[in-house]
Amino acid sequence: MFRRLLGVAVLAAALPPAQAQESPRAAGGNAFNPGISLILQGTAASSSRDPASYRIDGFAPTGGEVGPAPRGFSLGESEIGIAANIDPNFSGQLVASFSADNKVEVEEAFFQTLALGGGFTVKGGRFLSGIGYLNGIHQHAWDFQDAPLAYKAFLGGRLNDDGLQLRWLAPTDLFLEFGAELGSGRVFPATPNSRNGANAATLFAHLGGDLGVSTAWRTGVSLLRARPEGRAFDDVDGLGNPVTQSFTGASTLLIADFVLKWSPNGNATSTNFKLQGEFFRRKESGALSYDDGTALTGDYASRQSGWYLQGVYQFMPRWRAGLRYDRLDRGTVDAAVPLAGPLASDYNPSRVTVMLDWSGSEFSRIRLQLAQDKSRAGLTDNQVLLQYLFSLGAHGAHTF
Partner 1 sequence: MRTIIAITLAAACSPALAALSIFACEPEWGALAQEIGGERVSVYTATSALQDPHHIEARPSLIARARRADLVVCTGAELEVGWLPLVLSQSGNARIQAGERGYFEAASAARLIEVPERVDRAMGDVHAAGNPHLQLDPRNISRVAKALAARMSVLDAQDASYYLERELAFQQRWSAATARWERQAEPLAGLPVVVYHANLSYLFNWLGVRTVGTLEPKPGVPPSAAHLAALLAALKQAPAKAVVRAAYNDPRAAQWLAREAHLPEVVMPFTVGGSERATDLFALYEDSIARLLAVAR
DSSP-derived letter for residue 69 is P
Point out which span in 209-217, 243-251, 329-337, 338-346 binds partner 1 (CB under 8 A): 209-217
- The interface mask with partner 1, positions 51-90, x = CB under 8 A, is ----------------------------------x--x--
**Residue 260 engages partner 1 in binding (rule: CB under 8 A):** no
Helix (H) or strand (E) holding 372: strand 364-374
For the beta carbon of residue 328, count every other beta carbon within 10 angstroms: 28
Point out which span in 40-48, 236-244, 262-270, 347-355 binds partner 1 (CB under 8 A): 262-270
**Residue 365 engages partner 1 in binding (rule: CB under 8 A):** no
The phi, psi pair for 135, rounded to 5°, reads -60, -35
Q: Pick the binder of partner 1 from 28, 174, 194, 197 (CB under 8 A).
A: 174
Point out which span in 46-54, 100-108, 361-369, 375-383 binds partner 1 (CB under 8 A): 361-369
For the beta carbon of residue 397, count every other beta carbon within 10 angstroms: 12
Q: Pick the binder of partner 1 from 54, 98, 142, 175 (CB under 8 A).
A: 175
Helix (H) or strand (E) holding 273: strand 272-291
Q: Pick the binder of partner 1 from 67, 266, 286, 331 (CB under 8 A).
A: 266
**Residue 92 engages partner 1 in binding (rule: CB under 8 A):** no
DSSP-derived letter for residue 375 is -
3-state secondary structure of 118: coil
For residue 61, give the nearest of 214, 233, 268, 217 by alpha carbon: 233
Restricting to residues 94-133, name those near partner 1 by CB under 8 A. Answer: 112, 114-121
DSSP string spanning 304-369? Answer: EEEEEEEEEEEEETTEEEEEEEEEEEEEEEEESS---GGGG-----EEEEEEEEEEEETTEEEEEE
**Residue 268 engages partner 1 in binding (rule: CB under 8 A):** yes
**Residue 195 or 395 having the CB closest to partner 1:** 395
The contact set with partner 1 (CB under 8 A) reads 1, 4-5, 8-9, 12, 15, 18-19, 21-23, 85, 88, 91, 112, 114-121, 167-177, 206-210, 213, 216-218, 261, 265-270, 317-318, 360-363, 392, 395-400
